[in-house]
Chain A
């Protein structure tokens, strides 16, 4: 099959590799019909995530059609069109039993610091991802969701990660009616966090970034205020001025370890890797939020350490909340929002690129060329109607689609 293939920092290509196979009775093989490049894929692409092996296929945002199921799969059927949450999770461990599907303890042998994630290095479990024609999906009865007929494929695709992550970012901010919410980062997650902040009753939503076209987009899409941090001096001071010297009630980090805005942070966090990424936005969040306020972090950082002003967080009595999104539990409510017309996830898609051109797609997204916000990769067999492979137990392979 054709798949994205990581060759080193800033180097990827489309290359043929063996098809995935059923490795566990609970597995399914999904033919990918659409896959996204996520902002967090760029941390892998830039070589910042430890244990990112050459030959790895990225991709944790994808939808597709079930091609084959293992002998233990009871619910999912061959031919089902599914969206696959980015979390690989078992549904039975202590964390899954508490709906913390992003913290599953049964799917990542190589680290306790993170759950299993498709195509996100061996630190996140060593699963090849969905920027490919086919992908192995463990625990097929638990993770994937059959896409409702009235939900557009592109909307379903956005529900695999960036929409629920943005929503959870706002949710972790514990937004109360009338709150001022500052979202750092106008990428897909930041855009959806801003949109979700309104759903939760915010009184004011401010998005901060330095990429003009993204600020223009989010201002229009999420009806929010925007600030270009390159046009202001001190970011925290600017937020204080904007909020009658109080600070924001809630600050959301939707950027993570590759934040621009502070040269020293960039040198120590990105260029020399003396810390696990630039902690610029963590500083901004802690110093911009009001006393007793909430900081919500969904931006991704590496596993080593970051220098953050934790003393300020203590003295201000802040609540810091953070996690990988527990995608599955957010899907029903997000579908209601889409059906009600409150949110239009597919509107953020700007680029559709054949999988064969994955190197160019990564470069466009990484370098923010051509006003890129969200890139969708289309595998060559995305629209193919194929004869269904025989399932492992033969019982689920009947209905060809």
Chain B
């Protein structure tokens, strides 16, 4: 087996399976299996065997685990306010899940829906979260939004440095071989596409020439 850290492994299993013999119950790859001696049960190391583990058992007692039980009321650790927060004034369009009675008292106001992607998002929010089309429409809107983002960049005279945004500087520094490989693959794909397009144009010319010859022959 490819497990590492033999100290702990020896403590728990008592064997390392590297001796070329099949362990009890282990298959030999031909459908045969060695006999299992005794009942199968989990083996547990003793506390002494785990003494070297930093902090071992500090939270063994469940009283020390803050999430046990999972639900606890009234809540500890926070300055719990009296009642729900007052409603946040709305200054931008906020889409609301149909699975809610209305807008939540608090909400994020970043990037309100806009453009074609915004229309798609509004359409998505006419469907419940239970309806998978809600999520698929939002994913579609995200892709449309990417194109809108490039358009917005160009509209304000900014040509996006797409390679820079994808971290090409880091790739060049830490993975130049990988970058060269990707460049070669991209070059090969583009080269093949150009070749095929040219070839098709050439074939079209040949075809046209052939038709013309045939036409003149029968005229």
Within 1-39 of A, Cβ neighbours of B (below 8 Å) are at 7-13, 23-26
Say whether B71 contacts A126, CB under 8 Å: no
A157 at the interface (CB under 8 A from B): no
Contact B42 A13 (CB under 8 A): no
Annotate A95-133 by CB proximity to B: 1 below 8 A, 0 otherwise: 011111100011111111100100000110111100000
> Which residues between 21 and 60 of chain B lie within 8 Å of chain A, taking CB atoms?
23, 25-26, 36, 40-45, 50, 52-60
CB distance from B120 to the nearest CB of A (A): 11
Q: Does A305 contact B (CB under 8 A)?
A: yes
Find out whether the CB atom of B76 lies under 8 angstroms from the CB atom of A99: yes
Known contacts A199-B57, A245-B40; A359 and B80 CB within 8 A of each other: no
Taking a contact as CB atoms under 8 Å apart, the answer to whether A97 and B74 are in contact is yes
User: Which one, A11, A99, A204, contacts B162 given CB within 8 A?
Assistant: A11
Judge if B205 is at the interface, Cβ distance under 8 Å. no
- Say how far A268's CB is from chain B's closest CB, in angstroms: 15
B149 to A223, Cβ gap below 8 A? no
Q: Are A333 and B107 in contact (CB under 8 A)?
A: no
> Closest residue to A72 on the B side, CB-wise?
B86
**Is residue B218 within 8 Å, beta carbon to beta carbon, of the partner chain?**
no
Shortest CB-to-CB span from B190 to chain A, Å, is: 19
Answer yes or no: B198 CB below 8 A from chain A CBs.
Answer: no
B167 touches A126 (CB 8 A): no
- Chain A, residues 261-294, CB within 8 Å of chain B (1/0): the string is 0000000000001000000000000000010000
Q: How many residues of A contact B (CB 8 A)?
A: 116
B21 CB to closest chain A CB (Å) equals 14
B200 at the interface (CB under 8 A from A): no
Given contacts A122-B95, A139-B106, A329-B77, contact A24 B88 (CB under 8 A): yes
| A106 partner, pick from B3, B74, B89, B105, beta carbons under 8 A | B105
Question: Contact partner of B2 among A57, A99, A231, CB < 8 A?
Answer: A231
A80 at the interface (CB under 8 A from B): no
Beta-carbon contact of B3 and A225 below 8 Å: yes
A304 touches B175 (CB 8 A): no
Decide yes or no whether A315 CB sits under 8 A from chain B: no
Residues of B within 8 A of A273 (CB): 139
A246, B102: Cα distance in complex, Å: 50
Report the separation of the CA atoms of residues A121 and B176 in the bound assembly, to the nearest whole angstrom.
33
Partner of B53, one of A7, A96, A223, A302: A223
Contact (Cβ within 8 A) B72 A99 = yes
Q: Are B71 and A98 in contact (CB under 8 A)?
A: yes
| B contact patch SS | loop
Asked if B56 and A198 sit within 8 Å, CB to CB, the answer is yes
**What is the interface size of chain B, counting residues whose CB is below 8 A from a CB of the partner?**
99
Verify if A303 is at the interface (C-beta below 8 Å from B).
Answer: yes
* Closest residue on chain B to residue A8 by CB atoms: B146
- Which residues from B are CB-within-8-Å of A128? 108, 110
Residues of B within 8 A of A369 (CB): 170-171, 174-175
Contact B72–A370 (Cβ < 8 Å): no
Judged by a CB distance under 8 angstroms, whether B96 is at the interface is yes
Q: How far is the CB of B67 from chain A (nearest CB, A)?
A: 5
Segment 160-191 of A: residues with Cβ below 8 Å from B: 168, 171-172, 177-178, 180
Which residues of A, 51-99, contact B by the 8 Å Cβ criterion? 51-57, 72, 75, 88, 90-93, 96-99
Stretch at the interface among A147-155, A360-368, A381-389, A390-398: A360-368
Interface residues of A in 308-350 (CB under 8 A from B): 326, 328-333, 337, 340-343
**Is A380 at the interface (CB under 8 A from chain B)?**
no
The verdict on A364 contacting B77 (CB below 8 Å), with A106-B85, A206-B3, A333-B59 known, is: no
Could you say which residues of chain A place their CB within 8 Å of the CB of B23?
Answer: 241
Nearest-Cβ distance from residue A230 to partner chain B, whole angstroms: 9
B94 and A200 form a contact (CB under 8 A) = no
Within B134-151, the residues touching A (CB, 8 Å) are: 135-136, 138-139, 141-143, 145-146, 148-149
Across the interface, name the chain B residue whose C-beta is closest to A302: B135
Q: Is the CB of B45 within 8 A of A204?
A: yes
Which residues of A lie under 8 Å from residue B60 when comparing CB positions?
177, 200-201
- Determine whether the beta carbon of A53 is less than 8 Å from that of B111: yes
Task: Say yes or no: is A227 at the interface (Cβ < 8 Å to chain B).
Answer: yes
Which residues of chain A are near B74, meaning CB under 8 Å?
97
With A53-B142, A99-B75, A180-B42 as known contacts, state yes or no: A109 contacts B59, CB within 8 Å. no
Known: A123-B138, A126-B109. Contact between A23 and B88, CB under 8 A? yes
Q: Would you call B20 an interface residue if the criterion is a C-beta within 8 Å of the partner chain's C-beta atoms?
A: no
Known: A177-B60, A226-B3. A367 touches B171 (CB 8 A): yes
Is the Cβ of A203 less than 8 Å from the Cβ of B12? yes
Contacts of A57 in B (CB 8 A): 110
Q: Is the CB of A8 within 8 A of B81?
A: no
13 contacts between A and B (CB under 8 A): A50-B142, A75-B79, A88-B108, A93-B84, A99-B71, A141-B79, A198-B53, A199-B56, A219-B4, A223-B53, A225-B9, A341-B54, A359-B164
Query: Chain B: residues with CB nearer than 8 A to chain A?
Result: 1-5, 8-9, 12-13, 17, 23, 25-26, 36, 40-45, 50, 52-60, 64-68, 70-86, 88-89, 91, 94-97, 99-100, 103-111, 117, 121, 125, 129, 132, 135-136, 138-139, 141-143, 145-146, 148-149, 160-162, 164-171, 174-175
Q: Which 10 A-B pairs have the closest CB atoms?
A: A363-B167, A342-B55, A126-B108, A178-B44, A8-B146, A201-B60, A127-B108, A360-B170, A54-B149, A50-B138
